[in-house]
C-alpha cells in the first residue's frame, strides 16, 4: 500500500504536532498514521488524491486517529464535500474545523451527501447544516416504449467532445443558467465526466443556437441519463420532451432496454416529464444532501 501514497513525495514527512489531542489539518505525511486496515469506504491512494486536489481542508485528530477527508464537490474548488468521516468521539470537532477553514478561505459552502454515508439527523443539526436537496431516482423498464410514437425532432443533435472548446463553453453557460448554484458543472467536471469512455454528451441546436444538451453513461444492460437541460430562453416550448426523446433514442440504438435517472424532489416539471415518458419511481436510490451555504448563513 505504501507505493500508492506517492502523489506529493516532497511532503511525505509528518509535521511536528505540539498537541496530538487537537484537531489539525491532515497532510500527505499523516496518511501512514491513519487506521485504514479493512476500512470499508476509503483507501490510502484515494486519501492522497483528495489531499492533493483540496489541500488544507481535510482534518484529523492525531491522538485518536480519527479523520475527516474532504474532496471537491463535483470537481469544484469553491465547495468541499465530506468524502469520509471516520470518527466516534471527535466528529463534531472535525466538521467544525473543516467549516472554519472553508469559510476563512472564502469558499461557497460545504456539502455532506448521503449518497456516500447516511448519518443521524442530530449530526447535521449540531453542526449547523440543513437539508439542501432531496435527490430522487426513476427507472424505465422498456426504453422502446417511449419511441413507439413517431416524433420528428425540432432540434439538431450533435455529439460533443472536449476538443470542441467553443461548444463546451456554450454548454457550460447553458448548464449554469438552467441549474442552481450547487449543481452547476465546472469545466473540470465536464473534463472528468467526458473522459469516461462510456459517457456521451450531445447538444441540441436550432439555427446554430445551443438550445439543450444531455449526457448519458452506458452500462452493460442499461443507460443512465446523467444530465438533461434546456436553455431558459427556450423552456416551455416542448424542448425538454424533445431532448429526452433524443436521449432515449440513443439508448435504444445502443440496445439498452432499461434507463435510469435522478432529479431533485422539488423539480416537479421534470418529474412530470419523466412520468409521461414511462419512468417510474425507484426510492431505493434516493438520498439527501445536507450542507452550509455561507452567503445564505450570513444573510440569515
208 and 276 co-located in one domain: yes
Contact 99, 81 (CB under 8 A): no
Structural domain contains residue 217: yes
Mean pLDDT of the chain: 90
123 and 141 co-located in one domain: no
pLDDT digits (tens, 9 = 90+) for 201-210: 999 999 999 9
64 and 169 co-located in one domain: no
pLDDT-derived band of residue 150, with 50, 70 and 90 as boundaries? Answer: low
87 and 52 co-located in one domain: yes
Query: What total number of domains does the chain contain?
Result: 2
From 83, 107, 128, the end of a domain falls on 128
How much is the pTM? 0.86
From 93, 128, 163, the end of a domain falls on 128
Structural domain contains residue 231: yes
pLDDT digits (tens, 9 = 90+) for 177-193: 999 888 989 899 999 99
- Domain that residue 280 falls in: 137-287
pLDDT digits (tens, 9 = 90+) for 13-39: 444 556 788 999 999 999 999 988 888
CA distances from residue 137 to 115, 159, 187, 283, 288 in whole angstroms, order as listed: 12, 26, 26, 6, 12
Structural domain contains residue 118: yes
Q: How far apart are the first and last CA of the chain?
A: 47
User: Does 10 score more than 50 pLDDT?
Assistant: no
pLDDT at residue 286 in the model: 97
CA distance 7 to 146: 48
pLDDT at residue 134 in the model: 97
157 and 251 co-located in one domain: yes
CATH of the domain at 242: 3.40.630.30
160 and 238 co-located in one domain: yes
pLDDT digits (tens, 9 = 90+) for 51-79: 999 999 999 999 999 999 999 999 999 99
**CA-based nearest residue to 87, from 59, 113, 112, 107:** 59
Structural domain contains residue 299: no
User: Does 131 score more than 80 pLDDT?
Assistant: yes
Amino acid at each position: 500500500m505504501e507505493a500508492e501514497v506517492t502523489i506529493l513525495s516532497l511532503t511525505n514527512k509528518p509535521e511536528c504536532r505540539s498537541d496530538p489531542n487537537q484537531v489539525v489539518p491532515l497532510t500527505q505525511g499523516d496518511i501512514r498514521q491513519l487506521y485504514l486496515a479493512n476500512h470499508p469506504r476509503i483507501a490510502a491512494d484515494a486519501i492522497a488524491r483528495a489531499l492533493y486536489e483540496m489541500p488544507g481542508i481535510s482534518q484529523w485528530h492525531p491522538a485518536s486517529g480519527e479523520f475527516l477527508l474532504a474532496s471537491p464537490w463535483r470537481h469544484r474548488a469553491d465547495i468541499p464535500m465530506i468524502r469520509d468521516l471516520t470518527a466516534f468521539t471527535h466528529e463534531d470537532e472535525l466538521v467544525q474545523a473543516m467549516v472554519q477553514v472553508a469559510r476563512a478561505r472564502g469558499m461557497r459552502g460545504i456539502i455532506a451527501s448521503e449518497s456516500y454515508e447516511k448519518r443521524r439527523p442530530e449530526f447535521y443539526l449540531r453542526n449547523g447544516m440543513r437539508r439542501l436537496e432531496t435527490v430522487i431516482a426513476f427507472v424505465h423498464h422498456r426504453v422502446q416504449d417511449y419511441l413507439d410514437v413517431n416524433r420528428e425532432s425540432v432540434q439538431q443533435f450533435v455529439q460533443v467532445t472536449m476538443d470542441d472548446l467553443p461548444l463546451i463553453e456554450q454548454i457550460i453557460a447553458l448548464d449554469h443558467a438552467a441549474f442552481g448554484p450547487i449543481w452547476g458543472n465546472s469545466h473540470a467536471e465536464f473534463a472528468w465526466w467526458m473522459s469516461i469512455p462510456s459517457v456521451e454528451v450531445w447538444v441540441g441546436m436550432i439555427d446554430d443556437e445551443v438550445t439543450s444538451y444531455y449526457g448519458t453513461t452506458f452500462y452493460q444492460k442499461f443507460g443512465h441519463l446523467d444530465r438533461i437541460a434546456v436553455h431558459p430562453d427556450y423552456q416551455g416550448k416542448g424542448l425538454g420532451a424533445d431532448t429526452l426523446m433524443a436521449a432515449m433514442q440513443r439508448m435504444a440504438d445502443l440496445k439498452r432496454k432499461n434507463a435510469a435517472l435522478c432529479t431533485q424532489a422539488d423539480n416537479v416539471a421534470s418529474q412530470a416529464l419523466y412520468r409521461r415518458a414511462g419512468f417510474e419511481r425507484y426510492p431505493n436510490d434516493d438520498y439527501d444532501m445536507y450542507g452550509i451555504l455561507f452567503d445564505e448563513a450570513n444573510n440569515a
